[in-house]
Amino acid sequence: MDMFYYPVFGGLGLGVVVTDKYWGSLAPTGLEENKAAVFVICSSKEMTSEGTAINGNFVQPAIPRFNGHYDHWSMLMENFLRSREYWSLVETGYVEPEDGASLTDAQQKKLEEEKLKDLKVKNYLFQAIDRTILETILQKDTSKQIWDSMKRKYEGNERVKRSILQALRKEFETLEMKSGEGVSDYFSRVMSVANKMRVHGEQMRDVTIVEKILRSLSDKFNYIVCSIEESKDIDRLLIDELQSSLSM
């Protein structure tokens, strides 16, 4: 089965790979309408060097994009590179011979192969990060240097975020309505902590906040809480709706 490379992001050297079975219906205007026939977005260089080395499947895993959460991204990226047998280049790098060193033909060939692999890894890393980060690592010569630079810059930040998030989780769990505190004031305190947790990466659903408020109200709301739990679907109850019910 033949494959065709169709550029869709010409300026970036990116396109899609499709089989000859679908090419007629896709090119050029049918591309968006028949997304089921698109197997992979890749670069034109990858199409010739790696596109045919996927056991006839043609589907390549997406390159993990760095979104600021370094620990999660580095785990995904390491697995991605290991699956292509490139991880050793990031972990240990390759040895560049000293100037003037004499190499045998076999050694020269091996060195060139390692350099080519390293360029591929650099390409993957470049595609995984945005322009602002890219500009800070363009001067790095090898993929190992790029990886080590990002690790130094972002791993510490991630640890700080985790530490802050742990403190916020504890604060959230211990929140309780104070004696004489108004509903609006208590909601503001709860939402302030919840929003800080979300900023630091916590995937907090509204139902978690609703349940927290219901179980931490002062005793004078016990009757209203029981009524709400019996009459409403807590999983679907909006925070604003809960506040309105408690303020009546």
Residue 34: predicted pLDDT = 37
pLDDT at 227 over 80: yes
pLDDT at 112 over 80: yes
Q: Domain for residue 128, yes or no?
A: yes
For residues 209-245, one letter each, b for 16 or more C-beta atoms within 10 angstroms of the residue's C-beta and e for the rest, the string is bbebbbebbeeebeeebeebeeeeeeeebebeebbeb
Residue 129: predicted pLDDT = 92
Q: Domain for residue 88, yes or no?
A: yes
pLDDT at 113 over 70: yes
Q: Domain for residue 95, yes or no?
A: yes
pLDDT at 198 over 70: yes
From CA 1, how far away is CA 225, in angstroms rounded? Answer: 65
Q: Domain for residue 43, yes or no?
A: yes
Q: Domain for residue 168, yes or no?
A: no
**196 and 232, same domain (yes or no):** yes
pLDDT at 221 over 80: yes
Strands (E), the chain: 3-9, 14-19, 40-43
Confidence label for 60 from pLDDT (cuts 50, 70 and 90): low
**146 and 74, same domain (yes or no):** yes
Q: Domain for residue 102, yes or no?
A: yes
**123 and 75, same domain (yes or no):** yes
43: CB partners within 8 A, 6+ apart: 12, 13, 14, 15, 123
**149 and 74, same domain (yes or no):** yes
Residue 59: predicted pLDDT = 55
Confidence label for 157 from pLDDT (cuts 50, 70 and 90): confident
**149 and 189, same domain (yes or no):** no
Residue 138: predicted pLDDT = 85
Q: Domain for residue 117, yes or no?
A: yes
For the question of whether the overall pTM of this predicted structure is more than 0.85, the answer is: no
Q: What is the pLDDT of residues 8-54, one digit of tens each?
A: 333 444 444 444 443 343 344 344 333 333 334 344 444 433 433 34
Q: What is the pLDDT of residues 84-104, one digit of tens each?
A: 999 999 999 988 888 778 888
**77 and 45, same domain (yes or no):** no
Q: Domain for residue 187, yes or no?
A: yes
**41 and 77, same domain (yes or no):** no
**140 and 107, same domain (yes or no):** yes
**83 and 139, same domain (yes or no):** yes
Q: What is the pLDDT of residues 133-150, one digit of tens each?
A: 888 888 899 999 999 999
Residue 43: predicted pLDDT = 41
Residue 133: predicted pLDDT = 87
Which domain covers residue 198, as residue numbers?
A: 175-247
Question: What's the chain's average pLDDT?
Answer: 79
Residues 159-186, mean pLDDT to the nearest whole number: 93
Comparing 156 with 177, the larger pLDDT belongs to 177
How many separate domains does the chain show? Answer: 3
Among candidate residues 120, 155, 190, the one where a domain is terminated: 155
Among candidate residues 155, 186, 219, the one where a domain is terminated: 155
